[in-house]
Amino acid sequence: YVVIMAGGIGSRFWPRSRERSPKQLLEIAGEKTMIQNTVQRLNGFVGPKNIFVVTNKLQKSAVAKQLPTLPAENIIVEPIGRNTAPCIGLAAMFVHRLDPDGVMVVLPADHVIRDEKEFLRVMDIGVKVAHESSSLVTIGIQPTHPETGYGYIQIVEDEKSKNGALPEGVFRVKTFAEKPNLQTAQRFVESGDFFWNSGMFIWRADVILNEIKRSLPELHGYLMSIEPTLGTSLFEQSLEHAYGMIRGISIDYGVMEKTEGVYVIRGDFGWNDVGSWDEVYRLATKDEQGNHLHGRIISFDTKNSYIHTNDKLVATVGIDDLIVINTHDAILI
């Protein structure tokens, strides 16, 4: 089963990204929206009936419209965002009801993956490790530079990893590190035993629910109050009540950092979380002047810039190294 987390508002992509049309529902990198690309790359891995999307009330209809092959009951609506631990716990109950020891792959809706074949190969390994070891598995990205915008995962290259007991590229996790400053990030990358934390996870539904029970017993109690109402007319009411009491907490901080025996798989498949307009520019195709221009634009003496507009004409003269985002009611420079 695949669970896609799609409840964010993408505030770093204002003014294009708004509460009703966030980053994951926009064509940020390519002709399709980010959530459509996320589902499309799962072709051959799981069918639509085994894909769940967790979103919010404002975005539910847009998600359903963009993903017409997804069964309506597979769109799980949170009454309010409470970070990733409640989101994942809620989805795990849906999977657990269908298949108690079913493996769930948890993915954000808004990442770019360039090498989809390698991505699916890594997912296959992760599913095997998660099912056979009853462990929590995450995906670590091979770092290419000392990035300060990502969390890091430190690995243990122990004898168990070296003697072939684990598949190649699978390591035990030593520790999780928060987003570092530049000097610390440089040290992490130079050491060779740190990966970027991708925010992608693989585990059995029963295992993650047990880990939530152990590390976040209060959250587990609220989830269990919802569980008997799954698939009934009382579900929305019990969900609303529980979410009014639940404290927001991330799965990393609430569970992963408190659990021993976590595995990480090295991912080297052209990953990018596209966290800013700068990253969009970096990934985009450019003309001879280093510009990426989208929409009705007249540019003169313009270099190394990202300019996006739709109906309204944008004219630039003598600019260098700027981002210009023009929408019907707001302009970001």
d(CA 302, CA 76): 45
Query: Pairing mode, if any, of strands 75-78 and 170-177?
Result: unpaired
Q: Which residues of the chain carry a pLDDT beneath 70?
A: 158-164
Note the pLDDT of residue 7.
Answer: 87
Of the candidates 176, 2, 5, 197, the residue with the CA atom closest to the CA atom of residue 86: 5
Residue found under tokens 């929305």: 236
d(CA 175, CA 49): 35
Of the candidates 4, 7, 196, 197, the residue with the CA atom closest to the CA atom of residue 83: 7
- Cβ atoms of residues 109 and 24 within 8 Å: yes
94 SS3 class: helix
Note the pLDDT of residue 160.
Answer: 53
CA angle 281-23-113, nearest 5°? 65
Query: Pairing mode, if any, of strands 331-332 and 323-326?
Result: antiparallel
* pTM recorded for the entire structure: 0.92
Residue 15 structure tokens: 């003014």
Which residues, 6 or more positions from 185, have their beta carbon under 8 angstroms from its beta carbon?
146, 147, 148, 152
Which residues, 6 or more positions from 253, have their beta carbon under 8 angstroms from its beta carbon?
none
Residue 209 structure tokens: 């629910």
Note the pLDDT of residue 163.
Answer: 46
Note the pLDDT of residue 164.
Answer: 56
What tens digit of pLDDT does each residue of 277-306 get?
998 999 899 999 999 999 999 999 999 999
153: left (phi over 0), alpha (psi -120 to 50) or beta: beta
d(CA 195, CA 186): 12
d(CA 100, CA 86): 18
Identify whether 15 is preceded by a cis peptide bond (ω within 30 of 0). Answer: yes
Task: State in Å, rounded, how far the first CA of the chain is from the last one.
Answer: 41
CB atoms within 10 A of CB 128: 15
Note the pLDDT of residue 18.
Answer: 87
Alpha carbon separation from 32 to 23, 38, 108, 129 (Å, rounded) = 12, 10, 16, 32
d(CA 303, CA 306): 9
Note the pLDDT of residue 9.
Answer: 79
Note the pLDDT of residue 159.
Answer: 46
What does the chain come to in residues? 333
The enclosing H or E element of 107 equals strand 103-108
Note the pLDDT of residue 20.
Answer: 84
